[in-house]
């Protein structure tokens, strides 16, 4: 056994010497590395890192569809609208990302705000009052926001683009620019944890796999394939008709799902708006990586009325799957 261990260490040592020797022969020096494109100082390095964060890169994928999906959300009572939707899908055509520093905590912590303008078309295949099948197109522009926390690792002036690292993220909050519908609370319960969020942009989930930061509200949820997860969402809507709420999961470009959330309570508020609570259970997929599970709330008129405005609100919770 000792001889085997000695042989292993000797082989590793020889490999390291060969790597060092090759670097010397090639004349390369880590200090001579050049900064990535568009990176000229520490600030621009943070902004590019924020836009390239694994979670930031896929939040809009979660709320986008790949094709028209069936209208399988059950019945909604009397329909006082000009169309009856059969299938629908939200298709993203353009995403513009803007990142900017917003907060500094001393000289070692920075918060970068990431804003996205997400444009596309909501397509609805429906039956009109005459019984004909028609397709309705509603162009939309969603806006989404999230914050990324960065921590300083070094003060190297030659490799300044490596001086900061992302260590935590807020949730992502998105939706249409009107205020007809708005999510106000999201609760997620798994077999190992529970989180309740009322302000998605100030609730921070730290990256446990980065060991230089132990603050934030909780660790990014980490699941195993097949784990059951319950999600409950509270929203406020000015629409009298019951809203349509779905849980969305998009773990790659090949497969995205949306699951109906069930209305469990409704309260008429003093100001005439409605507070509604929806809930569903979801079983985690088996594809490892960095993802979002999103709650996507739409007014009924968004789908059932061809002249009504596109009105949605959605929040995304980042999670990691082993």
Q: Write the pLDDT tens digit of every residue in 97-153.
A: 999 988 777 788 999 999 999 999 999 999 888 888 999 999 999 999 999 999 999
Residue 214 has pLDDT above 90, yes or no: no
CB atoms within 10 A of CB 123: 17
* Chain centroid offset of residue 67 CA: 20
Question: Which pTM value belongs to this model?
Answer: 0.82
pLDDT score, position 232: 97
Fold held by 33-321: Immunoglobulin-like (2.60.40)
Compute φ and ψ for 13, nearest 5 degrees.
-65, -40
Residues contacting residue 53 through CB under 8 Å, at least 6 positions apart: 114, 148, 166, 169
Average pLDDT over residues 14-25: 36
Q: Which helix (H) or strand (E) holds 9?
A: helix 2-26
Checking if the pLDDT of 47 tops 60, the result is yes
Per-residue confidence (pLDDT) for residue 255, from 0 to 100 = 66
Q: Are strands 83-105 and 133-152 parallel, antiparallel or unpaired?
A: unpaired
Query: What whole-number distance in Å separates Cα of residue 287 and Cα of residue 256?
Result: 12
Average pLDDT score, the chain: 84
> By 3-state DSSP, what share of the chain in percent is helix, strand and coil, each rounded to 5?
15, 50, 35
Backbone angles phi, psi at 239, to 5 degrees: -85, 130
Write out the two tokens for 305: 């009325």
Which pLDDT score is estimated for 76?
Answer: 36
pLDDT digits (tens, 9 = 90+) for 250-289: 666 556 788 889 999 999 999 999 999 999 998 888 888 8
Which of the two residues, 297 and 212, has the higher pLDDT score?
Answer: 297
User: pLDDT band for position 200 (50/70/90)?
Assistant: very high
Report the half-sphere exposure of 239 (CA within 13 A, side-chain side). Answer: 25
Task: Record the tokens describing residue 176, joined without a space.
Answer: 């249409």
DSSP assignment, residue 306? T
CA–CA gap between residue 192 and residue 227 (Å, rounded): 10
Confidence of residue 208 (pLDDT cuts 50, 70, 90): confident
């Amino acid at each position: 056994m000792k001889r085997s261990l000695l042989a292993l260490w000797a082989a590793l040592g020889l490999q390291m010497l060969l790597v060092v020797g090759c670097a010397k022969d090639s004349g390369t020096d880590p200090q001579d590395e050049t900064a990535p494109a568009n990176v000229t100082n520490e600030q621009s390095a943070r902004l590019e890192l924020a836009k390239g964060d694994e979670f930031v890169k896929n939040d809009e994928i979660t709320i986008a569809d790949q094709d028209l999906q069936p209208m399988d959300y059950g019945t909604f009572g009397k329909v006082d609208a000009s169309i009856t939707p059969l299938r629908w899908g939200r298709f993203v055509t353009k995403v513009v990302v803007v990142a900017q520093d917003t907060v500094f905590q001393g000289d070692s912590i920075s918060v970068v705000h990431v804003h996205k303008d997400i444009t596309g078309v909501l397509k609805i295949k429906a039956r009109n009052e005459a019984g004909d099948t028609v397709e309705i197109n509603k162009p939309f522009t969603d806006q989404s926001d999230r914050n990324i926390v960065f921590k300083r690792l070094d003060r190297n002036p030659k490799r300044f683009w490596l001086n900061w690292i992302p260590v935590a993220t807020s949730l992502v909050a998105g939706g249409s620019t009107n205020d007809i519908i708005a999510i106000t609370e999201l609760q997620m319960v798994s077999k190992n944890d529970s989180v309740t969020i009322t302000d998605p942009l100030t609730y921070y989930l730290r990256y446990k796999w980065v060991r230089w930061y132990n603050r934030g509200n909780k660790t990014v949820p980490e699941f195993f394939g097949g784990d059951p997860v319950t999600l409950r969402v509270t929203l406020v809507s000015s629409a009298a008709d019951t809203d349509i709420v779905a849980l969305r999961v998009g773990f790659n470009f090949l497969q995205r799902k949306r699951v109906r959330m069930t209305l469990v309570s409704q309260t008429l508020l003093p100001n005439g708006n409605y507070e509604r609570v929806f809930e569903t259970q979801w079983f985690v997929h088996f594809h490892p990586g960095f993802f979002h599970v999103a709650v996507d709330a739409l007014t009924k008129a968004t789908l059932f009325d061809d002249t009504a405005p596109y009105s949605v609100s959605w929040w995304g919770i980042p999670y990691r799957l082993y």
